[in-house]
Amino acid sequence: MDAPAPTRGPASFLTQANALLRKNLCFQKRNLKTNIGITLFPVLLCVILVVLQGVIDRELDKPKYRCGCVCVDPGPAAVGDACRRTECGVQHSTLDQVGSCPIPNPTPWPALVQVPRPESRAVRTAGQPFDGLPDPTCRDTGSCPAAVLVTGSNRSLAQSLSVGLFPASTSSLNLTDYLDALSKIVAGSDTWPWTTELIESAFIPGNNLYLVQPRCLSNLTQTVSSNAGAIPLQLNIDCVQGLPLWRESASVVNDELFKGYRQNGGGSGGGKTNEFVAGYDFLNTNTNGLEMNIWYNSTYNNNTAYVPISLLRVPRLVNAASNEYIKFLKGSGVEMFLQYVKEMPKVGTKLKFDLSSLLGALFFTWIVELLFPVILTYLVYEKQQKLKIMMKMHGLKDGPYWLISYAYFFALSATYMILFVIFGSLIGLDFFRKNAYSIQFVFYFIYINLQISLAFLVSSFFSSVKIATVVGYIYVFGSGLLGEFLLRFFVEDTGFPKGWVVVMEIIPGFSLYRGLYEFGQYASAGNSMGTTGMKWSNLDDSLNGMRVVLIIMVVEWAIVLPLAFYVDQVSPLGGGFRKNPFFFLGCFKKSPLSLRRYSFGRQGSKVVVEMDNPDAVQEREVVEQLLLEPIANQAILSDNLKKVYHGKDGNPDKLAVRGLSLAIPKGQCFGMLGPNGAGKTSFISMMIGLIPPTSGTAYVHGMDIKTNMDAIYTTMGVCPQHDLLWETLTGREHVMFYGRLKNLKGTELLKAVDDSLKSVNLFHGGVGDKQVGKYSGGMKRRLSVAISLIGDPKVVFMDEPSTGLDPASRNNLWCVVKEAKKNRAIILTTHSMEEAEVLCDRLGIFVDGGFQCLGNPKELKARYGGTYVLTMTTPSENEQEVEQLVHRLSPNASRIYHISGTQKFELPKQEVKVADVFHAVESAKRRFSIYAWGLVDTTLEDVFIKVAKGAQAFSVVA
């Protein structure tokens, strides 16, 4: 293989973006089912809404809810059921039906006051010891008076006005013209009124009509049947005494009304409520003008349901006072009558219940937000599986990653929303059809952008998919529910400061809710009034929160997106090398680092390393020498690299790598051997930028791993210990992707990919075109090696590349690595001594955070293994003789192993000749029986065990 063309620089932004895009397209193509499922979800929900709406519509269309009709002219019996004339209207309707009747000419009703029910009328109690209240015994007979509290600045005037508030009726009431009759006196009711006056609830048969009188005469109690317009009436007319009570000031009135309110906790047990008809404050009323305040009870209810009675029971209260005032001014001959109150006419309506507008805000908030956990999960997945850092290690810059991921999520969200709106409109949901599509477009456009940015930001804080998913869904459902039950409440409460609503809307879920809520409101208003929903001009409406929401979301988007990028760069969980929080300042002090970098590579004085061994010291000196040279052609130069894991909960700090110095020139394969937990992985992790070094640094082709990792990544290949692969992509797609990242193009790329697949034996039989999920462990391993070598990286890290391979594949792989090391430096960790011997030009045995020895395999064997090992198995009674025999051969031999007749001896090489051993054994065979024997040269394995043991013994002593 000849040297690669030096022209190929690092891949440009667009090349990387293209690579990632193609990979993602492949990935999403395999993921098609899930994607379709996601995008069809809103369609499904719309269908459910439509079905429910249909059920409701059918129910509402039943005669029960339509204006009542009766047959007024049945026609001749012969014709059967046919009816000549039916009449529809309020008079033929039940209460459920009335709402939908046309009312061209509403019935006038007398204005009434709200009279407390007999058992609730104010009496004297321990909690209400105010003047003039009746004794509680009146409650037994139901004859308690209805009290009115009166105050004002001129007591005599106020009292004289209050006395005449309830004019006495003539002895018997002529109800033929009940409007006129009831306008001259004050009548009241204890039933709760409806919000409209189409029918006055007090006149529904069975309810009481009270005549509020100065004094009750027994003959006023009667039952009268009459007709109000077309509506038949049957009235229980009862008398109640109206009792005006003077109070010193408005605050006394307030206090008394307050104390009467559900006194002692209300309910049945303790006290009853102590209710009043009303409170009057005549303020500064004098001969020049009438001024007054009226307290009325708007929460009147019947103990099961609070019904706001609006102001329907107020006109009579005002009229009673005004009437009295005019009499006071002009004398009793002048009177002021309030004849009746009357609704405006209305057309017949069909009872409608637009589910989508009503449930809309909550449901649609959920639907739109549902993409949030999907995006979040995807982002965290790539991080959790270390796929992101894997791509980064092969040169993918953050820019293209963000661009392509963002674009993909945007495309997904946009499709989702477009389908949602189009489908919702097609099936006729007013929520979509009534409101201007341009506003909807702008609103959803901004929101999905904000949501994607938010997902990016939030993903920086998670490293586990499970937790991210759970949190994501909690956010979705939580913000929807809180929006429905909290935000909505505040929005509809006109007294609530609008500023706080805006503050709440800073949470994106709430701003979404508010926007959808406004759409729903406008749609349902447009629905019931037959107009269109929200238009751009409606943004100026004072109650319309849409404009504020749009502004909030745009501003947030502009803040969250850069913030997410920033946090991703500095977050320790960012799945990569943490940058200084002020890394962006670096742009301003850019200096040509290339040559100066070594000058500050050495930090201060020489570090004293405890218990160093000669090899490590020597290597350190080499490194120091190399660092002084301006241009080092060393591929990897590690300068006193240290990693300390700080102990938690009182545990001592753990020194994972203690001041490691190492120089590896181009063309060398360096093998790192060492027992588990020796710190090899920490070292590699530092070199590939997964964790930052505690002190010291390393240079890869002159670039500092502390500051220049991004540049290093473009010339680096990594074969991680655990395969970091996308299960649904094929082997070829993987290699293609990483090849593109390394700026391979066109035919060069195709050739490199083919070569690469061939070299790891994944080419033939279409194996390379199978999805990685179907690969065996060994195939994945080989693919990982192929990935690490694609695009001719200058430095390759391989973490146990041949684990789990069958011998044939392993040999194959070794050939690949041997071929590959010609042009680059390779650092390889392994537990296979055979592999180390075959592949590595130099070995380091790494124990307890530092190298115990360095050298090429032969050297090491010679140094640590200057012995032969003689193994001999005899009957156990001959053990003594064997030992003597060995000592004759080699006086310094030592027995290293011994069990029931089998013994192992180490014989120093300089003392024995192999031929002598054979002779001695031959002659010994004649004297006693030898079952088996053998003589072996030291292996690397022996060296390893020896070094590892020695180091451990040493560290125990130290």
Ligand X SMILES: *[C@@H]1O[C@H](CO)[C@@H](O)[C@H](O)[C@H]1NC(C)=O
Where does this chain bind ligand X (CB under 6 A)?
Answer: 154, 156-157, 174, 176-177, 257, 260-262, 273, 275-276, 287, 297, 299-305
Q: Return the number of the residue (241 or 274) whose C-beta is nearest ligand X.
A: 274
Q: How many CB atoms lie within 10 A of CB 746?
A: 7
- Closer CB to ligand X, residue 173 or residue 889? 173
CB-based burial label for 535 (10 Å; 0-12, 13-18, 19+): middle
Instruction: Name the DSSP letter for residue 487.
Output: I
Q: How far apart are CA 955 and CA 669, in angstroms?
A: 29
DSSP 283-317: TT-BTTB---EEE--TT-B-SS-B---TTTTSHHH
Specify whether the CB–CB gap between 99 and 351 falls below 8 A: yes
**Min dist. Cβ of residue 167 to ligand X (A):** 19
Strand runs labelled E in 270-349: 278-281, 293-295
Query: Which residue, 190 or 369, has its beta carbon nearer to ligand X?
Result: 190
Q: Which is nearer to ligand X, 80 or 289 (CB)?
A: 289
Nearer of residues 119 and 769 to ligand X, judged by Cβ = 119
Find where tokens 């060069």 sit.
Answer: 748
CB of residue 96 to ligand X, shortest distance in Å: 12
Residue type, 909: K
Can you read off the two tokens belonging to residue 656?
A: 């994972």
- DSSP lists the bridge partners of residue 695 as 642
Q: Which is nearer to ligand X, 119 or 819 (CB)?
A: 119
Residue 717, C-beta contacts closer than 8 angstroms, at least 6 positions apart: 394, 787, 788, 789, 790, 791, 793, 795, 796, 797
Q: How far is the CB of 300 from ligand X (least distance, A)?
A: 4
Q: Retrieve residue 440's tokens.
A: 């909807």
Judged by beta carbon, residue 304 or residue 880, the one nearer ligand X is 304
How many Å separate Cα 33 from the centre of its chain?
23
Between 340 and 864, whose beta carbon lies closer to ligand X?
340
B/e letters for 34-65, b = 16+ CB within 10 Å, e = fewer, are ebeebbebbbebbeebbeebeeeeeeeeeeeb
Between 297 and 453, whose beta carbon lies closer to ligand X? 297
For ligand X, which is the closer residue by CB, 91 or 154?
154
Instruction: Write down the least CB distance from residue 255 to ligand X, Å.
Output: 11
Terminal C-alpha separation, the chain:
50
Q: In the 8-state DSSP scheme, what is residue 345?
A: P
> Considering beta carbons, is residue 263 or 440 the nearer one to ligand X?
263
Question: How near is the Cβ of 165 to ligand X at its closest, in Å?
Answer: 17
Tally Cβ neighbours within 10 Å of residue 517: 26
The number of C-alpha atoms within 13 Å of 462 and in the hemisphere containing its C-beta is: 24
Q: Which is nearer to ligand X, 312 or 882 (CB)?
A: 312
- Amino acid in the structure at residue 921: V
Using DSSP, state whether 350 is helix, strand or coil: coil
User: Judged by CB, which is closer to ligand X: 117, or 831?
Assistant: 117
CB of 221 to ligand X, least distance (A): 17
Q: How far from the centroid of its chain's Cα atoms is residue 656's Cα?
A: 37
Residues 239 and 217: their CA atoms lie apart, in Å, by 8
- Find residue 844's DSSP bridge partners: 672, 854
Contacts (Cβ under 8 Å, ≥6 apart) of 300: 114, 192, 307, 309, 313
Nearest approach, Cβ of residue 214 and ligand X (Å): 21
Across the beta sheet with 850-855, what order do the strands follow? Answer: 716-719, 795-799, 825-829, 669-673, 842-847, 850-855
Tell me how far apart the alpha carbons of residues 484 and 467 are, in angstroms, rounded to a whole number: 25
Spatial neighbors of 564 by CB under 8 A, at least 6 apart, are: 453, 454, 456, 457, 460
User: Whole-number minimum distance, CB 489 to ligand X, in Å?
Assistant: 22
CB of 118 to ligand X, least distance (A): 13
- Specify the residue, 265 or 765, whose C-beta has the smaller distance to ligand X: 265
Q: Show the tokens assigned to 120.
A: 């609730």
Contact call for residues 133 and 276 (beta carbons, < 8 A): no
Between residues 272 and 643, which has the closer beta carbon with respect to ligand X? 272
The count of C-alpha atoms lying within 13 angstroms of the C-alpha of 837, restricted to the half-sphere facing its C-beta, is 14
Q: Tell me the DSSP string of 85-133.
A: EEEESGGG--HHHHTTS-BSSPPPB---EE---GGGB---BTTB--TTP
Bridge partners (DSSP) listed for residue 846: 851
Residue 238: what are its φ and ψ, rounded to 5°?
-135, 160
